[in-house]
Amino acid sequence: MQSYSLGVRLSLIFLGLLCLSSMQMIAQETNQSDTIFPVNLLDSTSLNIEEVVITGTRVSKKIIDIPYPVIRINFVDYRYDKKVGVNDVLSSVPGMFLQSRYGNHDVRISIRGFGSKSNSGIRGVRILLDDIPESEPDGQTRIEAIDFNSIGRIEIAKGNLSSLYTNAPGGVINFINDIDFLRTFGVQFNQFGSFGLRRIGAKVGIRTDNYGLLTTYSNHHYDGYREHNSEHWNIVNTVLETTPSENSSLKLLFYFADGIIKLPGSLTKEEFEEDPYQADQRAIDRDMKRLSTKGRLGIRFNSKFGQKLNNDFELTAYATIKYFERTSREYRVINRSGLGARVRYGNKSKIFNRANELLVGSDLLFQPARTEYYDNINGKKGDQILQLLNEKIYNNGFYISNNYELLKNRLFMLITGRYDIINFDLKEETLPSRADNRTFNAFVPKLAFNYKLSQWISVYTSYSLSFDSPAKNELESFDPTFLYNPDLKAQETKSFEIGIKGNLINRKTDFFNRMLFEVTFFNLNIENEVVPFEVYSEVYFRNAASTSRRGLELGSRLEIYKDLQFTFSYTFSDFNYIDYSAIAIQIDSTGNIIETEEDFSGNIVPSVPKNNLFISLSYSHPVSNKIIGFAKLSYQGISGLWVDDANTDKTNAYQLLNSVLGVDMKFGKFNIQISGGLNNIMDEVYVGFTNTNSADRRFYEAGEPRSYFASVNLGYRF
């Protein structure tokens, strides 16, 4: 632990020296063709802070002009990496903490603590795929359809975005399929690795004067590093775009995902110390698993109009179909369908000779669901239906955003606000028949300022309110008298942040000639925080009265020398319960439930590390005009996590060292990309996921031990 703290201090000192030296650099405008990284021979994207993003403000806007932290990651940034789960791609993002449960798709995403205590799916962070919500109307998200071989870029807006998106107090992540290619191409990719990892598939892009078509197929197999830990997936992503007129576009967006994940469950501390890679015997006996089949079809029309093309209109409609089977104590069969639409209108104009951008829009999502409960007989569905629930979830939201130029080319004021209505309607059709209904609604505003010190450096600050309704699974009642928990309230947050970001360039020297950086301080006060507790391995939720979260996020990407890049991110999190008294539920040695009144006030919020450090050094160099070589070494240090609200135990800090080597070769129109890597080089045994507030103290799930992967991608560009 002492060595880890020393590493944090040395890294902070190093970053400070870099910032001081970089402030002497000359900030100057560059063309969009200038890139930090060599462009992939099969990909057209590149990273620049001046490039536009969509997620931050729902309109195309330069990163430097958005008054909160926004990060864009392109395929070129992770093309050589393992890229199975989001933790393989997003670990370098400051403020974000990723916990992979079993080394597969099931990754907990947390931004500024939001989502850190979700033991199933993603909460508090809005997930989009091609600007369409993967998050369900209640805010719960699973990302089985995300295929990083298909994704062209990822846009991350951190901080409270609830004034623009439903249930987004932590931020928004938008995964965008790689439709922005310039020429027709085809790629066949292959990957294999430790613990039975095998991924094969193909990616085809067709480009003509009138349309573009992208189709990607992936077959994924993984045996897992724990017992009862296998995973199998088939994923298809397709985007078709065309231009009906010069200033309009039409897109069809489709995906289909089908697969199964076996769940090994969580362990007690004694079991973890005996064998961290064993499974909970109950998980084996129950054959705990998730079978998922889901699909989505969307259509989007966008048009710019007006004499100066200063008006923008977009309409998106989509439909979803989802079929799930879940096994735990019971066997559940879930059928869900959904209809959604989003419409927005934007206008750019002048008011008092100052630039003004107005945006208004609405989101609508309706999702009916039918859930059948059966006995779980060693993982097999019983013959007799025990309970049948029909549920409807409605989410309707309206938002407005206005960005006004207070000082010419210097100071901008952004005001946003959103009103959401989220309704849950549940009917039990088996005896005894019952019905229940809950509605949550609120208006949440945000005020933000952005001041540009220069063309490429800006400081920003914001104050906002947040409203986060409980998810469907969080509303389930511990009291069998009710279908919904009548006492569970919406989580409310008051957020303040201040920061600086920039892109510094100095072309007069070969050393330290470019640096992208961000520094953000945030302070959050949360009322009625929704926290989990567990009884007989079933998870329920309650409210903590008051929580304080303060933190600091540092991030930098520095080109030390030609083709040699240093990446740094550090997050400090000081999260505490201010006022929190609740009934603590535990199970004694005879299996009886014991309820006691406990006061958790002053305790540290579990499942969030106080220190999260990421450092990488990468070198990408053209060996010749046809061959590019690549090497990367990365380090991640995570301080220990408290496992429950009572702070009864804390996991050990851990440090991970990973490496990647790659080569990209072009032979005429053919391209071969070969890469491989070794993760957790020191083979450290660590807790990779904490099962928060487990009543029978099954808090611990091991992270992946030392593992390797290798990839061979074969491509042809027409």
- Which DSSP state fits 265? -
If one compares 420 and 563, the residue with the highest pLDDT of the two is 420
Dihedral, CA atoms, 22, 26, 29, 33, nearest 10 degrees?
-60
CA 701 to chain centre: 20
What three-state secondary structure class fits 78?
Answer: helix
What lies within 8 Å, CB to CB, of 94 at 6+ separation is 69, 518, 520, 553, 554, 555, 569, 570, 571, 614
Dig out the tokens for 447 from the structure.
Answer: 């005020």
Distance CA 199, CA 458 (A): 42
Select the highest-mean-pLDDT range: 469-483, 558-572, 586-600. 558-572
CA–CA distances in Å: residue 349 to residues 67, 196, 304, 411, 416: 20, 57, 14, 17, 18
Average pLDDT over residues 568-572: 97
Distance CA 318, CA 133 (A): 10
Among the listed residues 673, 690, 705, the one whose alpha carbon sits nearest the alpha carbon of residue 190: 673
CATH number for position 572: 2.40.170.20
Each residue's pLDDT tens digit, 193-212: 999 999 999 999 999 999 99
What lies within 8 Å, CB to CB, of 303 at 6+ separation is 245, 247, 248, 249, 312, 313, 314
**Number of structural domains found in the chain:** 1
Task: Please name every residue paired with 97 in a beta bridge, in sequence order, or none if there are none.
Answer: 110
CA–CA distances in Å: residue 303 to residues 88, 344, 360, 389, 487: 36, 11, 15, 42, 46
The proportion of the chain whose per-residue pLDDT surpasses 70, expressed as a percent, equals 89
Residue 500 corresponds to which amino acid? Answer: I
pLDDT at residue 105, rounded to an integer = 67
pLDDT at residue 534, rounded to an integer = 65
In contact, 609 and 640? CB cutoff 8 Å: yes
Distance CA 481, CA 488 (A): 15
Among the listed residues 362, 303, 374, 371, the one whose alpha carbon sits nearest the alpha carbon of residue 336: 371
In contact, 144 and 291? CB cutoff 8 Å: no
Dig out the tokens for 566 from the structure.
Answer: 């240093």
Distance CA 616, CA 632 (A): 7
Dig out the tokens for 662 from the structure.
Answer: 């790659």
Distance CA 138, CA 122 (A): 11
pLDDT beyond 90 at 527: yes
> Which residue in this structure is represented by tokens 């080319």?
409
In contact, 615 and 634? CB cutoff 8 Å: yes
Each residue's pLDDT tens digit, 240-281: 999 999 999 999 999 999 999 999 999 999 999 999 999 999
Task: Please name every residue paired with 564 in a beta bridge, in sequence order, or none if there are none.
Answer: 561, 619
CA–CA distances in Å: residue 193 to residues 683, 687, 710: 16, 22, 6
Distance CA 626, CA 317 (A): 44
Dig out the tokens for 417 from the structure.
Answer: 């606000």
In contact, 120 and 133? CB cutoff 8 Å: no
Where in the sequence is the domain holding 590, given as residue range(s)? 2-717
Dig out the tokens for 3 from the structure.
Answer: 């060595």
In contact, 293 and 323? CB cutoff 8 Å: yes
Report residue 24's pLDDT band, with 50, 70 and 90 as the boundaries. Answer: very low
Summary mean pLDDT of the chain? 88
What three-state secondary structure class fits 2?
Answer: helix
pLDDT beyond 80 at 683: yes
pLDDT at residue 471, rounded to an integer = 86
pLDDT beyond 80 at 319: yes
Average pLDDT over residues 355-374: 96
pLDDT at residue 507, rounded to an integer = 74
User: Any idea which of 117-121, 541-545, 683-687 has the lowest mean pLDDT?
Assistant: 117-121
H or E stretch at 424: strand 411-428
Find the radius of gyration of the CA atoms of the chain.
Answer: 25
pLDDT at residue 293, rounded to an integer = 96
pLDDT at residue 533, rounded to an integer = 73
pLDDT at residue 8, rounded to an integer = 43
Dig out the tokens for 537 from the structure.
Answer: 């391995």
Question: Residues 276-281: contacts with CB within 8 Å, 24+ apart?
Answer: 276/685, 276/700, 276/702, 277/225, 277/226, 277/227, 277/702, 277/705, 278/226, 278/227, 279/226, 279/227, 279/228, 279/229, 280/698
- Neighbouring CB atoms inside 10 A of 9's CB total 10
Distance CA 581, CA 578 (A): 10
Report residue 26's pLDDT band, with 50, 70 and 90 as the boundaries. Answer: very low
Each residue's pLDDT tens digit, 288-315: 999 999 999 999 999 999 989 999 999 9
Dihedral pair phi/psi, residue 466, rounded to 5°: -140, 145
In contact, 86 and 107? CB cutoff 8 Å: yes
Average pLDDT over residues 214-230: 95
User: Any idea which of 103-117, 310-324, 645-659 has the lowest mean pLDDT?
Assistant: 103-117
In contact, 250 and 239? CB cutoff 8 Å: no
Task: Please name every residue paired with 666 in a beta bridge, in sequence order, or none if there are none.
Answer: 671
Dihedral pair phi/psi, residue 194, rounded to 5°: -65, 155
Each residue's pLDDT tens digit, 627-682: 999 999 999 999 999 999 999 999 999 999 999 999 999 999 999 999 999 999 99
pLDDT beyond 80 at 163: yes
Distance CA 252, CA 556 (A): 37
pLDDT beyond 60 at 689: yes
Helices H, strands E: what count in the chain? 6, 35
